Amino acid sequence: MYSTALLSALLLASSTFAADKVTFPTTFQTSSKRGLVFVNNKKAPEDNKIWAPPGTDLTWYYNYEPRPSPIYAGISQKDFEFVPQCWGNNPTFADTVKELIGNGRNITHVLGMNEPDEPIGATGGSGIDPVKAAGIWIQQIEPLRALGIKTGAPAVTGSQRGITWLKGFFNACTEMGTNCTMDFLPMHWYGNFEGLASFMGQLSAT
């Protein structure tokens, strides 16, 4: 399979260079599914601007934070939608989102915790106990759903530990008197397609 793909790529490249002309698209097909996870590049700040030029095919972004990144703060939600995230234990998340709305920013989606089953460290995990996370969800996320904002479940790691964490989270929500309703289920996966399909099935069942 790989040799066939390589051969096709070489044939395409040779035909392109034979014409002595290399062209690149100037417009892109946008999609609501195409988003960006943005982390500020402090070493080369000029690179931060390359993700959202006029005509970009990206339509939304998140940055692990409840507020827009300064580099994109002046861009409207219509042109480049910002999606706030309650990365971990944030007792003011709902108030921050409501403040953004009050200032004219049309927030339509929010994200829950990032890899709460992963300890806090270099990999981005927020390291939250599922019972505590259920309490945060009820206090900070459910009020936003009441405003019509679509909510994304905590995005666990692509592992059995993540599945176990989610089960604990949902059980804790039930014990607290709510089902912690969410509108979509983010997931992380780093592996082959077969593993992805299997993990999606487990998430759905959970």
Token match 């070489």: residue? 10
Answer whether residue 109 is part of any domain. yes
**What is the extent of the structural domain holding 170?**
29-205
Three-class SS state of 53: coil
Quick one: CA torsion of 63, 64, 65, 67, rounded to 10 degrees?
30
Answer whether residue 23 is part of any domain. no
Q: Which tens digits make up the pLDDT trace of 133-185?
A: 999 999 999 999 999 999 999 999 999 999 999 999 999 999 999 888 899 99
Answer whether residue 12 is part of any domain. no
User: CA–CA separation, 32 vs 30, rounded Å?
Assistant: 7
pLDDT grade, residue 55 (50/70/90)? confident
Nearest to 206 by CA among 127, 137, 144, 130: 130
Whole-model pTM? 0.81
> What's the whole-number mean pLDDT along residues 196-200?
93
Q: Which tens digits make up the pLDDT trace of 27-39?
A: 566 677 889 999 8
Answer whether residue 8 is part of any domain. no
Answer whether residue 113 is part of any domain. yes
- pLDDT over 90 percentage in the chain: 59
Answer whether residue 123 is part of any domain. yes
pLDDT at 42: 84
What is the tally of structural domains in the chain? 1
- Which residues make Cβ contacts (< 8 Å) with residue 48, sequence separation at least 6? 38, 40, 41, 69, 71
- Enclosing H/E stretch for 110: strand 109-111
Token reading at 6: 């390589």
pLDDT at 27: 59
